[in-house]
Amino acid sequence: MPQGINLLSAGKQPIYCGSHLGTEKEGETVKPRTTLTALALVGLLTAGCGGSSGASSQNKGNSGSVLRVGTTFTCNSINPFASTGTTCAMIFRYNYPFLVQYTGSGAFEGDLATKWTTSGDKLNWTFDLRPGAKWSDGKPLTAADVAFTINTIVKFREGATASEASSVKNVKSATAPTANQVVVTYQKPTANVLGRLLKMPVLPAHVWEKYATGDGMQLKQTPNPAPLVAGGPYRLGKYTKDQIALMEANPNWYGEKPKLSGFGLQFFTSPDAMVNALKNNQIDYAAPLPITAAKPVEQAGFTVSRQPGFRFHDLIINQSPHQKAHPELRNAGVREAFELAVDRKKIIDVAYLGYATPGSSIVPPVTGDWYNPAVKPITFDPAKAAKLLDEAGYRPGPDGIRVAGGKPMSYEVIIPDVEGGEGERALQIVTEDFKKIGVQLKPKPADNATAFDQLTGPGKKYEQFTLSQWGWIAQRDPDFLLNGMTCAQWGSWNDTGYCDEEYDKLYDQQAAAVDDKARQAIVWQMQKMIYDARPYIVTHYDDVVEGHSTRWTGFGQSPLGILDSQSRQGLLSATTTGS
Amino acid sequence: MSRTGHLIRRLLATMVTIYVVVTLNFLLFRVLPGDAVSNLSRVPGGSPELSAALRRQFGLDQPLWEQYWIYLGRLLHGDLGVSFTTQEPVGDRLMVAFGNTLPLVAAGLVLALLLGLVTGTLAAWFRGGWVDRLSTSTAIAFYSVPTHFLGLLLILLLGNQLPTQGMHDEFLIDPTWAARTADLVRHMVLPVVTIALIVFGQYTLVVRSSMLETLGDDHVLTARALGAGPVRTLTKHVLPNAMLPITTLVALSLGGLIGGSILVETVFSWPGAGRAMYESVVQRDYPMLQGVFLVLTISVVTLNLLADLLSVRLDPRVAQ
């Protein structure tokens, strides 16, 4: 077998193996070590791992086993109000209950809520909850917890709970008329109520209410140490920053028992080391797999999955009126010429080794009905691009670089490190093609914080930068990305200096459109506006590429891969193959 | 100058150096482009109010000089502040990070020293021959290799035999102390070997040069003329006299190694000071950055001082 030495047969120490964790009693906290011992004992007895020298979760073919996931995406904090990044959100997705979840097809299904109704004026949403639900510490999980979470986020949404505030947009308050029913009252009709609430973890009031006092900053400051009190299918039993997040089955979960008895996320800083660990049976799953490793990993006998993803990359053209050095960038013809000079196919084939699809809209096709199919990438045509620039009066100077307003069309392109090696190669391709039309690009690498600082500049006016190459990871609902182009997001999510009142009005309209069809029409219109204005030239959508041992199967498909922060489809059906 | 005078002068210089570096640490990270609050408030739903609240919480709304005095005041009380990103006391995080880095660096240094002593001594003894050429060219070759490249090369070559990530197998079930230690040692092998291979070259060259100088001394020639064998000559008459520059170099390189562990820790996902420094720079976590650099500064300055004092001890002429 090409995976290398089997560490178990080579005398490796016993590996975490078992079914679910020991349960907790009310008021008691089980220490991780004790928990692991309990897990080990239960695992040995029930999962057939047998033998004091242990066995691994991955080679016994039982369903009660632990999946070892390696990832290069770290998690900075396990406090939902202090964390950033999708990996933390994925941990919360499995640890905490949510009112609703996404199904594999992107539809909504009940989670803690079993059904929901809305009033005629769309201001009151009533959710019926599962009766008899319990937290992992045995305390009742009721509507009071849901109401507490919503009201706390609402109360401190301008400060400590801002990171969760978008999930309760326009919410006035929440009440719990009974233990199994919660009513959420909105200030005005709001679009995508379920999609917003779907992002909000329901927190145990008995743990968090002591922090929800004063200015609420304690909510953000508490480290919320593991083991967490859980209401989801798994409980975060152990967390060591930059090393491991270990999820154990929550015996009190109200849903169908998951097939895995647990999973661990091991955080790698080097993708190459992660690939090596996969090949050598030190982990079972690598997410994401570097695209350069996809073929070798597949040839080594592993399963490599590939599917269209939410992430896209774009060339940003500064649209701020405060940017004075190169006013030609506000000329629509120039931006169209730039797009004509972007060879998407070459970028995908050479830089991304084919693991991407051409991009056009800021709402990716994987969002389904929200994607406007009329927004299509234009064909690479450098001759036409040159012609457009000629027509605009920007003729080449003696050095071959065009001159606009007395200045050479030479631009620094800020590229943050998150774009990685593929992004750098993509920019090299664009730079070479732009040279052919008489436009000089000079890549300017920076770390993410520096890059964003350089984009917004002093006073958040976007005065200085000209071009940048960056990207986004979209969500299933388009609101987040559409919001990023509004004037209100200057200095925050807006990275283009684009500001259009008409666009902002449309944004508000879609945010209030409770009818999906009506909202879709507005969302499509907004995508077309952005495409025509070209603050972004969306170059391509990344595929999600992941690899795993053939001893595992049943992973759900998701545009966010196994680390999906919005759905539990990725892991709930996963199991060993028995091989 | 007397030994005491030399000591007082060095101690004063050390204190001034530490104060200057503490001040530079404070200013340096604040003039970096990028900002901790921008990072932390850039969340869905982030608002100017959140930014203001975070600035208040971190004390960044105060004038710079006031932040500086608060920082100095806390420092004098041994309070390094609270990490912006994890909300944990910086002191606690540093204890863990440096506690993880020190065994790695110490083991790497010892191995490098052994390699350097053996290869340097052989090169000097067989000067001009193939052993000399092989030793010195190997030393220079390893010294020139980029750390991360060598780390990745070792992962490719030995990754199927040894762990390549972290300090422990986090999936071990309730391991015994012995099992846990054995696991730690296994995880240390590749990063330690990487450090040792990168560092030993400079020791080889210094040992060789120092030995060659000593080998030509009259007392060595006399010893050999009196019939001392190669081993006795080396161990009794050459090495002790050649140790002075080596001792200094080891003390100096230890401080540099702790700071320079960033690449090794990144390649091998080792949760130490280097990695903490990298994460803090990326996230503009000022208290952590100040803490890491403070400890590094004190380490380097103290080790410099120790090297200096040791030199005086070994060779009193240095103090003259």
Q: Is A552 in contact with A575 (CB distance < 8 Å)?
A: yes
% residues pLDDT > 70 (chain B)? 90
pLDDT higher for B309 or A544?
Answer: A544
B174's CB contacts (< 8 A; 6+ apart) are: A33, A36, A37, A40
pLDDT at B262: 83
Q: Is the peptide bond prior to A227 cis by the omega test (within 30 degrees of 0)?
A: yes
CA distance A518 to A516: 5
Summarised one tens digit per residue, pLDDT across range A289-316 is 999 999 999 999 999 999 999 999 999 9
pLDDT higher for A223 or A522?
Answer: A522
Average pLDDT, chain A: 86
Residue A197, H or E segment: helix A193-197
pLDDT higher for B86 or A372?
Answer: A372
Q: Which residues of chain A are within 8 Å of residue B265 when distances are taken between CB atoms?
A: 269
A218/B contact by beta carbon, under 8 A: no
Query: Would you call A8 exposed, middle or buried from its count of C-beta atoms within 10 A (0-12, 13-18, 19+)?
Result: middle
A301/B contact by beta carbon, under 8 A: no
Summarised one tens digit per residue, pLDDT across range B256-306 is 777 678 889 988 989 898 888 888 887 778 888 888 888 888 888 888 888
Asked if A215 lies within 8 A of B152 by C-beta distance, the reply is no
Q: Which of A39, A160, A276 sits opposite B164 (nearest CB)?
A: A276
How long, in residues, is chain A? 579
A183/B contact by beta carbon, under 8 A: no
Asked if A16 lies within 8 A of B173 by C-beta distance, the reply is yes
Beta bridge partners of A234: A249
CA distance A313 to A419: 9
CA of B171 to nearest chain A CA: how many angstroms apart?
A: 4
Chosen from A150, A200, A217, A243 to mutate, greatest number of chain B CBs within 10 A: A243
pLDDT higher for B290 or A227?
Answer: A227
Q: Nearest residue on chain A to B156, judged by CA atoms?
A: A276
Q: Closest Cα partner for A20 from A340, A263, A374, A203?
A: A263
Chosen from A164, A242, A487, A495 to mutate, greatest number of chain B CBs within 10 A: A242
pLDDT at A55: 34
DSSP string spanning A343-376?
-HHHIIIIISTT-EEE---SS-GGGGGGS-TT--
Inter-chain Cβ pairs, chain A and chain B, closer than 8 A: 190
Q: Which of A26-35, A256-265, B37-46 has the lowest mean pLDDT?
A: A26-35
Chosen from A74, A241, A263, A493 to mutate, greatest number of chain B CBs within 10 A: A241
CA distance A340 to A383: 9
Summarised one tens digit per residue, pLDDT across range A492-510 is 788 999 999 999 999 999 9
Beta bridge partners of A116: A127
B144's CB contacts (< 8 A; 6+ apart) are: B201
Asked if A77 lies within 8 A of B271 by C-beta distance, the reply is no
Q: Closest Cα partner for B216 from B236, B235, B241, B243?
A: B241
Q: Is A539 in contact with A521 (CB distance < 8 Å)?
A: no
pLDDT higher for B59 or A390?
Answer: A390
Q: Which residues of chain B are within 8 Å of residue A223 when distances are taken between CB atoms?
A: 86-88
pLDDT at B42: 58
Average pLDDT, chain B: 83
Give the pLDDT mean for A511-535. 95
Give the pLDDT mean for A276-295. 93
CA distance A183 to A124: 7
Asked if B284 lies within 8 A of A160 by C-beta distance, the reply is no
Residues 426-485 on A with a CB inside 8 Å of B are 446-450, 452-454, 456, 480, 483
Asked if B53 lies within 8 A of A160 by C-beta distance, the reply is yes
Six-digit token string for B275? 């990695």
CA of A41 to nearest chain B CA: how many angstroms apart?
A: 10
Q: Which of B57, B170, B265 sits opposite A246 (nearest CB)?
A: B170
Give the pLDDT mean for B60-78. 84
Summarised one tens digit per residue, pLDDT across range B184-229 is 999 999 999 999 999 999 899 988 988 888 888 888 888 888 888 8
Beta bridge partners of A548: A285, A303
CA distance A268 to A255: 32
B65's CB contacts (< 8 A; 6+ apart) are: none
Residue A17 has pLDDT above 50, yes or no: no
Asked if A68 lies within 8 A of B34 by C-beta distance, the reply is no
Distances (CA, A) of A369 to A99, A532, B102: 23, 20, 55
Residue A4 has pLDDT above 50, yes or no: no
In-domain check, residue B60? no
Q: Which residues of chain B are within 8 Å of residue A264 when distances are taken between CB atoms?
A: 170-171
Asked if B165 lies within 8 A of A241 by C-beta distance, the reply is no
pLDDT higher for A273 or A372?
Answer: A372
Question: Residue B36: which pLDDT band, with cuts at 50, 70 and 90?
Answer: low
Summarised one tens digit per residue, pLDDT across range A506-520 is 999 999 998 999 999
Beta bridge partners of A267: A71
CA distance A409 to A337: 13
Summarised one tens digit per residue, pLDDT across range A149-170 is 999 999 998 888 888 888 998 9
DSSP conformational letter for B234: I
Q: Is A344 in contact with A522 (CB distance < 8 Å)?
A: no
CA of B229 to nearest chain A CA: how many angstroms apart?
A: 46
Asked if A40 lies within 8 A of B281 by C-beta distance, the reply is no
In-domain check, residue B48? no
Q: Which residues of chain B are within 8 Å of residue A33 when distances are taken between CB atoms?
A: 174
Handedness of CA A51, A56, A58, A59 (dihedral sign): negative
pLDDT at B40: 63
In-domain check, residue B55? no
pLDDT at A397: 93
CA of B126 to nearest chain A CA: how many angstroms apart?
A: 40
Asked if B174 lies within 8 A of A77 by C-beta distance, the reply is no
CA distance A508 to A231: 35
pLDDT at A23: 28
Give the pLDDT mean for B6-20. 85
CA of B84 to nearest chain A CA: how many angstroms apart?
A: 9
A512/B contact by beta carbon, under 8 A: no
Asked if A272 lies within 8 A of B45 by C-beta distance, the reply is no
Asked if B44 lies within 8 A of A163 by C-beta distance, the reply is yes
Q: Nearest residue on chain B to A480, judged by CA atoms?
A: B44
Q: Which residues of chain B are within 8 Å of residue A163 when distances are taken between CB atoms?
A: 43-46
pLDDT at B47: 58
Q: Closest Cα partner for A180 from A110, A129, A145, A126?
A: A129
Six-digit token string for B28? 């340096």
Within 10 angstroms of residue A39's Cβ, the number of other Cβ atoms is 27
Q: Could you give the 3-state DSSP secondary structure of residue A534? A: coil
pTM for this entry: 0.80
Chosen from A65, A276, A476 to mutate, greatest number of chain B CBs within 10 A: A276
The domain total for chain B is: 1
B148-182 exposure pattern, b = at least 16 Cβ within 10 A, e = fewer: bebbbebbeeebbebbbbbbbbbbbbbbeeeeeee
Beta bridge partners of A68: A264
Distances (CA, A) of A137 to A27, A50, A148, A204, A256: 7, 29, 18, 10, 19
pLDDT at A2: 29
In-domain check, residue B34? no
Give A24's Cβ-side CA count (13 Å radius). 26
Q: Which of A104-113, B52-61, B223-232 has the lowest mean pLDDT?
A: B52-61
pLDDT at B43: 53
Q: Is A66 in contact with A551 (CB distance < 8 Å)?
A: no
pLDDT higher for A178 or B212?
Answer: A178
A489/B contact by beta carbon, under 8 A: no
In-domain check, residue B214? yes
CA of A260 to nearest chain B CA: how many angstroms apart?
A: 15
pLDDT at A48: 29
Question: Residue B246: which pLDDT band, with cuts at 50, 70 and 90?
Answer: confident
pLDDT at A112: 97
Q: Which residues of chain B are within 8 Å of residue A217 when distances are taken between CB atoms?
A: 53, 57
pLDDT higher for A324 or B229?
Answer: A324
Asked if B87 lies within 8 A of A79 by C-beta distance, the reply is yes
pLDDT at A482: 94
In-domain check, residue B40? no
In-domain check, residue B192? yes
Residues 10-49 on A with a CB inside 8 Å of B are 12-17, 33, 36-37, 39-40, 43
pLDDT at B14: 84
Q: Nearest residue on chain A to B148, judged by CA atoms?
A: A270
A158/B contact by beta carbon, under 8 A: yes
CA distance A554 to B37: 41
In-domain check, residue B268? yes
Q: Which of A88-102, A116-130, A302-316, B117-131 has the lowest mean pLDDT?
A: B117-131
Give the pLDDT mean for A112-122. 95
Asked if A77 lies within 8 A of B87 by C-beta distance, the reply is yes
Summarised one tens digit per residue, pLDDT across range A400-444 is 999 999 999 999 999 998 898 999 999 999 999 999 999 999 999
Q: Which of B41, B165, B172 sits opposite A277 (nearest CB)?
A: B165
Q: Is the peptide bond prior to A478 cis by the omega test (within 30 degrees of 0)?
A: no
Q: Which domain holds residue B247?
A: 90-319
Q: Which of A15, A40, A159 sits opposite B53 (nearest CB)?
A: A159
Q: Which of B35, B41, B166 sits opposite A453 (nearest CB)?
A: B35
CA distance A342 to A436: 11
Q: Is B142 in contact with B201 (CB distance < 8 Å)?
A: yes
Q: Nearest residue on chain A to B50, judged by CA atoms?
A: A159
A390/B contact by beta carbon, under 8 A: no
Q: What is the CATH number of the domain that holds B164?
A: 1.10.3720.10
